[in-house]
Amino acid sequence: MSAPGASREGRLVSTMIDVMLAGMCDPARFRRGREYARQGAVDGLAIAAGIATANVQGSRAQPYSVTIRTVPPSAASIDPDKLTSLVPTRDEVSFDCDCPDWDSPCKHAIAAMVFLSERIAYEPALLSRWRAVEPAQAAPRATVGSRAGGATSKPEVSAVHLDAEAHGALNAFLGNPVSFKMPMLGSAPAAPEMWDEPWSFILNDALTALARNAP
């Protein structure tokens, strides 16, 4: 699959956001939310300083309203030469949805976040606006992918190899591995849901996106 117009750094940031999001929910819900986003269920994404809103078509006729909030990053954490320094942590993001699901993020919020991250791949400046690192007067509310505005191509993610710079950025975001000794446990039945499939989606997207522009 191709991703015309998506920048290399934008793809990396998008993948890092997906990694963060996957760590906030169970595999089945994450997978369902991605399916919603890729089936075109997200509409009217609007982004302003500290907040993003969208409508997500679920099982009922009326779309659900989703709000994704974030806080500005600390000045010390911002590297003006690296957009990846603006990727939020789990503690810096919160979700609201008017659906009856009490899980947070619900599948509708996940869909909106996935769509937001894919839009950032194409328009990296949207991340700066959302994290409120631009003056408010220079960042008017933006509407992205609204059906009312005419036909908008849905973002697609392409296939690739991580270079040293991309590895470094992703490793810095994920942190160092934790070592610990597991106690001896008896055998248990295999869990019905595993991380393998969602993580394979994320890593395949990362490799695809980054390898496209690899030298």
Q: Provide the pLDDT confidence category of residue 111 given band limits of 50, 70 and 90.
A: very high
Whole-prediction pTM = 0.62
Query: How many CA within 13 A on the CB side of residue 122?
Result: 17
| Mean pLDDT for the chain overall | 76
CB 49 within 8 A of CB 130: yes
The pLDDT score that the predictor gives to residue 204 is: 63
* Per-residue pLDDT at 6 exceeds 80: no
Question: Cα–Cα distance between 5 and 3 in angstroms, integer?
Answer: 6
- Is 68 part of any domain? yes
- Is 17 part of any domain? yes
Contacts of 6 (CB under 8 A, 6+ apart): 121, 122, 155, 157, 158, 209
- Is 89 part of any domain? yes
Q: Provide the pLDDT confidence category of residue 70 given band limits of 50, 70 and 90.
A: very high
Q: What digits encode the pLDDT tens for the residues 27-67? A: 999 999 999 999 999 999 999 999 999 999 988 889 999 99
- Is 181 part of any domain? no
The pLDDT score that the predictor gives to residue 212 is: 64
Domain that holds residue 34: 8-176+194-211
- Is 184 part of any domain? no
- Is 47 part of any domain? yes
- How many structural domains compose the chain? 1
First to last CA, the chain: 19
- Is 67 part of any domain? yes
Mean pLDDT of 78-85: 80
- Is 186 part of any domain? no
Q: Provide the pLDDT confidence category of residue 213 given band limits of 50, 70 and 90.
A: low
